[in-house]
Amino acid sequence: MVDRVSGRTVLVTGAGQGMGAGIARALAAEGANVAVGDINVAAADAVAAALRDEGHPAISVGMDVTKRDDVRAAIAGTVREFGRLDVMFNNAGLNKPMQFLDVTEDNWNLVMDVNALGVLIGTQEAAKQMIAQGGGGKIVNTASIASRQGYAEFVPYCASKFAVVAIIQAGARALAGDQHHGERLLPWRGGDAAVGPAGQGHGRHPRRREGGRCLRRLRLGGTAGPRRTGGGHRPDRGVPRQRGQ
């Protein structure tokens, strides 16, 4: 199937590498206008340029998801280029494993700021844009199997992913009357791609089919509320590198 999101505009955060880049490629192949968001501007530029070389409409937007002004500017730039924002895919995240008794305030704040606060800001600012432009929209947030249980070496990470689910549930209730639909995506480990928890890569880029698997399960044209998507990868099976943030 092709063109399932033809003409729709999607901003994907953490899309400069790994699963985020795979999602951006899959969406572009399905006809979407894609804004590649990442704190690593050079990486975002490279992904967007590759998409344009293949004939897909794409731009890059540098952004730190923990900074509201950056997120607003990324959304504004997306709307300037493509006219509207139909889907916000809050994918950027990181993990810095540490034993339970060794977790520090700095470790906690780093992971929570990117994974939880970043999702809150992205959801809020995308919803404001969607309400202003009319016509509803989709907000998709990357969660993890760690949003359902705690792991001894991933305390801040697990807490941040529990928070992501809470943000989705609260946002879905708050925005239901405005036709915005929240999703949570629980990625899985995907064969050769070695995709880790919450979409963080292990230094290898996922194959195009990995983003396609996500897309097939997202039903971007539907009206589903918060739900689990994919199989879920245990975070203790691999330590992810920082992605996008």
Tell me the C-alpha to C-alpha distance, in Å, between residue 226 and each of 21, 35, 139, 143.
23, 23, 10, 11
Dist CA 89 CA 1 (whole Å): 21
Is 157 catalytic? The answer is yes
**Residue tagged active-site, from 89, 157, 162, 188:** 157
Looking at 83-186, list the stretches that DSSP marks H as alpha helix, in order from N- to C-terminal side: 105-112, 118-133, 155-175
How many other CB atoms sit within 10 Å of the CB of residue 143?
32
Looking at the chain, list the stretches that DSSP marks H as alpha helix, in order from N- to C-terminal side: 18-29, 41-53, 68-82, 105-112, 118-133, 155-175, 208-218
Tell me the C-alpha to C-alpha distance, in Å, between residue 61 and each of 25, 58, 244.
16, 10, 11
Give the angle 184-220-21 at the CA atoms, nearest 5°.
70
Residues labelled catalytic: 157
